[in-house]
Chains A and B, each alone.
Chain A
Amino acid sequence: MNDIAPAIELKGISKAFGPVQANKDISIRVMPGTIHGIIGENGAGKSTLMSILYGFYKADAGEVFISGVKTEIPDSQAAISAGIGMVFQHFKLVKNFSVLENVVLGAEDGALLKPSLRKARKQLTALSEEYELNVDPDAVIEDIGVGMQQRVEILKALYRQADILILDEPTGVLTPAEADQLFRILGRLKEEGKTIILITHKLREIMDITDTVSVMRRGEMTSTVKTSETNPADLAERMVGRKVLLRVDKVPAQPKDVVLDVRNLNVTDDKGVHRVKDVSFNIRAGEILGIAGVSGNGQSELLEVLGGYEKATGEIYLNGDQLDLTGDKSDGQSRRARGIAHVPEDRQQEGLIMDFAAWENTAFGYHHDPRYQRNRFIMDNAAILKDTQEKMDRFDVRPPNPMLAAKNFSGGNQQKIVVAREIERNPDVLLVGQPTRGVDIGAIEFIHQQIVALRDAGKAILLVSVELEEIMGLSDRIAVMFDGQIMGERMPDETDEKELGLLMAGMTNGEAA
C-alpha cells in the first residue's frame, strides 16, 4: 500500500471566514480507484473543504498533494489541470446553453468556436456511450431534468479528463431510482480507475457505495474508517459527538374531525406548466400528514397555494368553510387571519428577511396583529420587542438578542425564530416545509418535538419534506407526490423506504412487480 501514492492527500488544512473557523487542521488521504465518503452535519465544513480543493477558496494553512506531488490550487483552473472535477450541489450550468456548449465552456481549443464544438461532439458521444450517460448534446439545459443535468456536470468533468471527481450532496434532487443510476455510473467510473469523493449527510449512501469514510464535525475531521468496519449508528454518533435518537419520540395520534379538506386542486405556473394535478386529501385535528417526494414534484406549489400566495383551481375547506383561491382573500395575510400558519421551505428567501432584526422578523407576516399596534397608525415596537424576547427564551434561540439581524444567526437558530413565530400563534393548521433543512441535529430534535407537541394539542399539520427519514419519523399518515399528483397514501408503520421510493419515482406497486 505504501508504494502507491494517494490520489489526494490534504495536510493540515485550515480556513476561517471572519470569526468562524470553517476548517481546522484537516488531514485526509484518498487512495486512487476508491470511493471515499465525507459525512457530517450541515455546517460541519465539508463543502468548504472541497471548495478549497477545487480552488474556490484559498486555505489559510495546509498543503495539498495530488498523486504524491505537492500542488498549489489558487483557482479552479489549477484544480482542473490537476485532474480534479467537481459536481456541485447546485449545478453550475448555463441554463439557455446546449449541453455541448456547457461542456465546452472553459475548455475550448482555440479562439473560434466551431472546431471546439465539432471535437467536443465526437468526444461527448464516446464518453456518453462508455459510461451509459445517455445525454443528447444538443438539448438545452432548461429543457432537461435534474438527473440529466447532473450527468452533464459529470460529463463536463470527464471531458476535462478529470481523474478525481468530487460530488457534493449529489442525491438531494434525485429520486431513489435516479440515485441508484448515479451510483451505477460512479461504480463504472471507479472501475475505470477514477477516484471519487462523495460528500453527503445521508448515512445510507455512505454505507451503500463508499470504500472509506471520513467524518467531519464542527470544522474538524474526527475520524476516517473503512466503510465495512462501521455502521450507521456508529457514524451518526461520530458526526454529532453523542448518541442520537434516530427516531422521533411520540405517542400514537388521536385524529379527530377533518380540519383541512383539499379537493381537486390544480396549479398551473406562469410558464403554463401544470404543477399540481387534481390533488385531493384531508387532514384531521391532531394528526401530521407527511408529503414525501423528490423536490420539484409539486409539493412547493401545494404549500404556496395553502399559504395563499399561489393561485389555483379546486376547493379547499378549512373547518368546513371554503377558502378563496384566486381572489382578494388569497394572500398570506388572509390565510394567517383564518388560522393557517406556515413555516416555509426556504427560510432565507421566504421565512425571514435576512437584513431585518429578529424582532422585526417576529412581527413579519403578523404585523397587522392588534397586539402589535399602539394606535390606528403607529406600531408598538416595544410590544414586539418584548414578545420576541419571550419567544427567544422559550425556544432557546442563541444568542437571545432581538436586535440582531437574522443573517447573523446560525441556520438552526434562524429556523427556530420562524417556528416560534408560526407555532406560538396557536394556529388551526400548520404548514411546514423542509423544517430541518440546513439545521444542526440539536435543533432538529427540538423542532421535531415542537411539531409533535402542536399535533398533540389537537392541531392539523401538513409536513412537506424531501427527507424520507423525517417523513417516516414524524408523520401519522404519508402521501407521496410525483409529477404533481398524489401517487398514494400509506401509514408509516405499514410501509418502508423502498415502497415510498417507488412511489416517489412515479411507480405503483403493481408496476414495480
Chain B
Amino acid sequence: MDFFTFVQLGDASVRMAIPLLLACLAGLFSERAGIFDIGLEGKMLAAAFLAAAVSFTTGSVWVGLLAGIAISVTLSLIHGIASITFRGNQLISGVAINFFAAGLTVVIAQGWFAQGGRTPSLPRDARFGSVDFPGALTRVRDKMQASPGMQFYSEFISGHSILVYLGLLTVPLSWWILYRTRFGLRLRAVGEAPEAVDTAGISVVRLRFSAVIIAGILCGIAGAYLSTAVQAGFTKDMTANRGFIALAALIFAKWRPWYALGACLLFGLFFAIDNRFQNIQLQVIWIMVLLIGVSVLMTSWAARKEKIDLWVLGGLSAVLTLVALLAWRGAVTDEIGAMAALFETVKVPSQLIQSLPYLFVVIVLAGFVGKAIPPRAGGQPYVKER
C-alpha cells in the first residue's frame, strides 16, 4: 500500500465519519440530558429525504439543508412530547420514529417525484460541492504524482464539503458548550440528577426539550450531508444504520465530545475499508489461527467466570472452531491434500466484511473495550417525588 492509498483511506474515513459524528453528538446532547434517542436513524433519514427533495425543487442546497433540519427537529419534538411531556417509553418512541421515517420518506418520495420512492438525481448546484483550499490539487492524476505533503494537503485536508469542516467544528463547540457554559452545566446536571435541577428552580422540561432540539439540528445536518454532499439525492434507507452505529460510538466515547470524534473516525475507517477492499483473501492457516485463537482466549476467560459464561462463550468458541475447520475442509482438494490446503488463499465472504462494523458495535457494547457509565437518569422520565 503506497502513501497515497493510505491518504485516500484516511480521506474516506473522515468522509464516512462525519454523519456518524454528527449523529453521535446529537445522541450525546440528548443522552447527557437524560433522554435516550434510538431515533437518530429515523431523523437522519427524514432529513436526508427532505433536504434532497427541497434542494431539487428549489435548486438551493442551503434551503434544502434548512428543510432537512426542520423535519429532523420536528421528529425530535415528537420524541420530546412522547418522552418528556407524556413520560412515555423512550425506546419505543425512538423505534416508532425510525419506522415512521423509513416508511414515510418512501411513500412521500413516490407521491412527490414518482420515481419508485427516491428523489431525482440532484444537479451540481443543488448539492454541496467540495471546498478546495488555496494551492490544493484537485485532479487525482496530479495528486498521485505530488509529494507526500502535498498529497496529504490536497486529499486529506482540502477538498471536502463545507459540511465536513462544519461537522468537525461541532466537536470543540460541543465540548465548549458542555463544559464551559451555564447551559452545559445544567444539561449535564439534568441527565444525572433532574431532581437537583428542578429544586434549583430550573425547568427540567425546558432543558430536556432544548437538548432534543439540538439533537434534531445535528441529525438534520447529518442527513442532509448524506443526500446532498456524499450522494446526489435520496434513496430508500440510505442512512444504512448509521444512527445505531452512532449510538454504539457514543457508548464507546463514554459520552464525551472528543472521544466521540475518535470513535466515529474509527467506525469511519471500518466503512472506508469495507468500501475499498470488497475482496479480501486470506490464507486458510491465518483464518484458523485467528478463529481458534479467539476461541481459546474466550473460553479460557469464561472458564474463570461463572457457569453461564462458559456455556455461552464456550459454545460460541465451538462454533468458531467449527467454521475454521470447515474453511480448511473447503480448501482441501484431492490434488493438494490437507497440509497444503492450509496455505491456500481463500476469499473472505463479502457478507462477513460488510458485517464487520456491526460486529465491532457488538464487541464495543459488550464492554470488553472499557466500561462506560451512562448518565444516571438516562432513559427515565422525570417525575416529581411525592
Chain A residues within CB distance 8 Å of chain B: 17, 47-48, 54-57, 75-80, 86, 88, 90, 92-97, 101-102, 104-108, 110-114, 116, 156
Contacts and interface: CB of A to CB of B under 8 A. Distances in A.
B304 interface: no
A76 B199 contact: yes
23 contacts: A54-B199, A56-B198, A57-B384, A76-B199, A76-B201, A77-B202, A86-B199, A92-B196, A94-B188, A94-B189, A95-B192, A97-B189, A102-B196, A104-B185, A105-B185, A105-B197, A105-B200, A105-B202, A106-B186, A106-B200, A106-B201, A106-B202, A114-B180
B300 interface: no
A56 B197 CA distance: 12
Nearest to A78: B201
Interface of B: 179-186, 188-189, 192-193, 195-203, 376, 384-386
Contacts of B197: 105-106
A156 B197 CA distance: 12
Given A105-B185, A113-B184, A77 B201 contact: yes
Contacts of A96: 192
Nearest to A328: B307
Contact of A113 (B182, B192, B195, B385): B182
Nearest to B180: A113
Which of B179, B180, B185 is the most central at the interface, judged by chain A CB atoms within 10 Å of its CB? B185
Nearest to A56: B384
Contact of A92 (B184, B186, B195): B195
A80 B192 contact: no
Contacts of A79: 201
Question: Most chain-B CB neighbours within 10 Å: which of A56, A75, A92?
Answer: A92
B187 to A, nearest CB: 11
Nearest to B376: A95
A111 B188 CA distance: 15
Nearest to B196: A92
Nearest to B385: A90
A94 B188 CA distance: 9
A108 B197 CA distance: 13
Contacts of B192: 94-97
Contacts of B185: 101, 104-105, 108, 113
B288 to A, nearest CB: 37
A112 B180 contact: yes
Contacts of A106: 186, 197, 200-202
B384 A93 contact: no
A194 B127 CA distance: 66
Nearest to B189: A94
Given A76-B198, A105-B200, A93 B193 contact: yes
A105 B181 contact: no
Given A79-B201, A106-B202, A111 B182 contact: yes
B202 to A, nearest CB: 5
Contacts of B198: 56, 76, 92
Contacts of A78: 201
A113 B181 CA distance: 5
Contacts of A114: 180
Contacts of B186: 105-106
Contacts of B188: 94, 97
A80 B193 CA distance: 19
Contacts of A56: 198-199, 384
Given A56-B198, A106-B197, 11 more contacts: A56-B199, A75-B201, A77-B201, A79-B201, A92-B196, A94-B193, A102-B196, A105-B185, A105-B189, A106-B202, A113-B182
A335 to B, nearest CB: 20
Contact of A94 (B180, B182, B196, B201): B196
Nearest to A106: B200
Nearest to B307: A328
A95 to B, nearest CB: 7
A191 to B, nearest CB: 27
Nearest to B193: A94
Contacts of A48: 386
A114 to B, nearest CB: 7
Contacts of A104: 185
Nearest to B179: A113
B193 A112 contact: no
Contacts of B200: 76, 80, 92, 105-107, 156
> Which of A48, A86, A108, A156 has the most CB atoms of chain B within a 10 A radius of its CB?
A108
Nearest to B201: A77
Contacts of A54: 199
A95 B193 contact: yes
A156 B193 CA distance: 16
Nearest to A91: B196
Given A92-B193, A94-B192, A112 B199 contact: no
Given A76-B199, A93-B196, A95-B376, A110 B182 contact: yes
Q: Which 6 A-B residue pairings sit nearest by Cβ, starting from the closest?
A: A106-B200, A77-B201, A76-B201, A92-B196, A92-B199, A108-B182
A379 B199 CA distance: 47
Contact of B196 (A80, A105, A113, A116): A105
A79 B201 CA distance: 8
A229 B201 CA distance: 38
A271 to B, nearest CB: 12
Nearest to B200: A106
Contacts of B385: 90
Nearest to B186: A105
Contacts of A108: 182, 185
A107 B200 CA distance: 8
A508 to B, nearest CB: 38
A64 to B, nearest CB: 16
Contacts of A110: 182
B135 to A, nearest CB: 38
B194 to A, nearest CB: 9
A96 to B, nearest CB: 6
Nearest to A96: B192
A112 B384 contact: no
A113 B182 CA distance: 5
Contacts of B384: 56-57
A104 B200 CA distance: 9
A183 B199 CA distance: 24
A97 B179 CA distance: 12
Contacts of B189: 94, 97, 105
A56 B201 CA distance: 10
A186 to B, nearest CB: 20
A113 B384 CA distance: 28
A70 to B, nearest CB: 20
A90 B192 CA distance: 15
